[in-house]
Amino acid sequence: MKKHKHAPLKAATRAIHAGEPPRHGVDAPVSAEIVRSSTFTFSSSEEMKLWAEGKSKAYIYTRYANPTLAIAERKIASLEGAEAAIVTSSGMAAISHSLLSVLQNGDELISTAQLYGGTYRLMRDVLPRMGITVRHAETSLEGIESLVTPRSKCLYIETPTNPTLRLVDLRKAIAFAKKHQLVSIIDGTFATPFLQRPLALGFDIVVHSVTKALSGHSDLIGGVASGSHKFIDPVRQMVIYLGGCMDPEVAFLLIRGMKTLGVRVERQCENAMRVAKFLEKHPKVERVHYPGLKSHRDHALARKQMSGFGSMLAFDLKGGLPAARRFCDRVELFLLAVSLGGTESLVSLPIYSSHYRMSEAELQRAGVKLGTVRVSIGLEDAADLIQDLQQALN
Ligand SMILES: Cc1ncc(COP(=O)(O)O)c(C=O)c1O
């Protein structure tokens, strides 16, 4: 992108133009080039020596860095208002590499009760094996002060949460982290950088599963972590050690998907609001979880810290699990599948997907009911989506 002399560009424009190499003059390709090479040449042994001494930023090997990955990283950094970003092989790689860049044996991590199931399982099953203690606060952050010890090192939150669409108060979370000098990490996957900008409020690292809305077509797995060099350079070091780098072909799809992020998010928010309002009035629905509804407990907070309410919602059916299963078996246009943020609308049952094999107590803490149905709203016409929901519920 050329240096721009006018007012700062809007997010939808930056999703298209930011991070791209110069594309003016003769013969410049408009679309990003896929640099499908694992390794890069040096012109002399002297240059190689400079690289080894950390005095050269030359590309050496794709696990370290790659020009196609760099376009995706600059684009996302621009949307987040970040100095740096690193793309990874999955959202879980972005999360685990970020946590491991901060935590070591003996440290304590404070997180919230409501998290994507994979993140929760990482904290339950893996981090303790490395001598890292994890304590979960209420999503409202009530009582969180009582979890702090001299070993507390990091605060990790997710907002809106998967699958119950609760919100964590970003300002309260960051004040808490700063007071106790904790490194703050947030998973902003459900919001995208379009609807929520945690770095501007003071968070240190924001991670996303780019598998979801950022790429937007359910055709790749990837992740990203963004922040200042102080925090992202150590995450890159973790990727170099542990190997969770993105593939250049995937980075191309991500770059391509991001060009339509602005219109997709706008349309998906509109569709989700219409679907949520329909479901809220349906006699078989006990409760709809969508931050855009006035009835949602975090609606006021959503208005304060998000610029839109997102494409995800969940609802509980009065008939519990049997009714939820019947509903999922009857949808025709909606697809019964996990994941989210793509063009196709999806339904899934968290107890059989993101929150599978969790104890009753764990499900209760995560706010997941047996009959909770999670919905990812896509780009279809909202009237068609509502018609499908209507027939499946009847
Ligand atoms: C909120 C959230 N964070 C992280 C992840 C993990 O991302 P990935 O599947 O790309 O590893 C998911 C996946 O569903 C998610 O919903």
Give the pLDDT of residue 128. Answer: 98
Residue 310 lies in a domain: yes
Assess whether 181 and 211 both reside in one domain: yes
Is 193 touching ligand 1 by the criterion CB < 6 Å?
no
CA of 92 to the centre of ligand 1 (A): 6
pLDDT at position 25 is 87
5 lies in some domain:
no
| Residue 187 annotated to the active site | yes
Which domain range does residue 191 map to? Answer: 11-258
Residue nearest to atom 10 of ligand 1 (CA): 91
Q: Is any ligand 1 atom within 6 A of the Cβ of residue 161?
A: no
310 and 282 inside one domain = yes
CA angle 40, 46, 50 (to 5 degrees): 75
Query: What is the dihedral angle through the alpha carbons of 347, 353, 359, 362, rounded to the nearest 10 degrees?
Result: -70
Asked if residue 116 has its Cβ within 6 Å of ligand 1, the reply is yes
**CA distances in angstroms from 85 to 4, 80, 290, listed in the order given:** 22, 9, 30
From the alpha carbon of 115, which atom of ligand 1 is closest?
1
Other residues' Cβ atoms within 10 Å of the Cβ of residue 181: 8
Task: Look at residues 231, 297, 283, 280 and name the one whose alpha carbon lies nearest to residue 94.
Answer: 231
Choosing from 232, 258, 284, the residue where a domain stops is 258
- 96 with 125, same domain? yes
Q: Give the closest residue (by CA) to ligand 1 atom 7.
A: 91
What per-residue confidence (pLDDT) applies to 3? 67
Q: How many domains does the chain have?
A: 2
DSSP H or E segment with residue 315: strand 312-317
Kindly report the length of the chain: 394
| Active-site residue, 256 included | no
DSSP state of 325: H
Same domain assignment for residues 166 and 265: no
Label residue 357 by pLDDT band (50, 70, 90). confident
Residues 151 and 199 placed together within one structural domain of the fold: yes
As beta bridge partners, residue 154 has 109, 183
**Domain with 351 in it: what CATH number?**
3.90.1150.10
Q: Whose CA is nearest to atom 2 of ligand 1?
A: 116
- Pocket lining: 221 vs ligand 1, CB cutoff 6 Å: yes
Q: Is the CB of 91 under 6 A from ligand 1?
A: yes
Classify residue 383: in a domain, yes or no. Answer: yes
Residues 6+ apart with CB under 8 A from 293: 276, 277, 280, 299
Please report whether residue 231 resides in a domain.
yes
Using the predicted structure, report yes or no on whether residue 366 has a pLDDT greater than 70: yes
The residue out of 210, 243, 258 marking a domain boundary is 258
How far apart CA 188 and CA 196 sit, in angstroms, is 7
Higher-confidence position of 5 and 116: 116
Q: Active site includes 116?
A: yes
Residue 69 sits in the same domain as residue 143: yes
Among 99, 114, 116, the mutation site with the greatest number of ligand 1 atoms within 8 A of its Cβ is: 116
- Domain membership flag for residue 187: yes
| Amino acid in the structure at residue 283 | P
Nearest CA to ligand 1 atom 16: 116
Is the CB of residue 279 less than 8 Å from the CB of residue 372? no
pTM across the whole model: 0.97
> How does pLDDT run across 67-107, given as a tens digit for each residue?
999 999 999 999 999 999 999 999 999 999 999 999 999 99
Domain-ending residue, one of 240, 258, 276: 258
Annotated catalytic residue within 63, 135, 277, 287: 63
CA distance 89 to 102: 19
Mean pLDDT, all residues of the chain: 96
In a domain, 30, yes or no: yes
Residues 277 and 226 grouped into a single domain: no
Q: What is the pLDDT of residue 4?
A: 64
40 shares its domain with 160: yes
CATH code at 201? Answer: 3.40.640.10
Candidate list 169, 187, 204, 388, residue with the active-site label = 187
Percent of the chain with pLDDT over 90: 93
Sequence letter at residue 63? R
Whether residue 274 is found in the same domain as residue 197:
no
Query: Does residue 27 carry a catalytic annotation?
Result: no
For ligand 1, is residue 211 a contact (CB within 6 Å)?
yes
Q: Per-residue pLDDT tens for 214-244?
A: 999 999 999 999 999 999 999 999 999 999 9
Same domain for 243 and 198: yes
Strands 205-209 and 223-227: antiparallel
Structural domain contains residue 303: yes
Domain identity same for 156 and 199: yes
Same domain for 66 and 189, yes or no, is yes
Using the predicted structure, report yes or no on whether residue 324 has a pLDDT greater than 90: yes
Would you say the CB of residue 120 lies under 6 angstroms from ligand 1? no
Task: Kindly state whether residue 2 falls inside one of the protein's structural domains.
Answer: no
**Is the beta carbon of 187 within 6 A of some atom in ligand 1?**
yes
pLDDT reading at 250 higher than 90? yes
Q: Whose CA is nearest to atom 6 of ligand 1?
A: 91
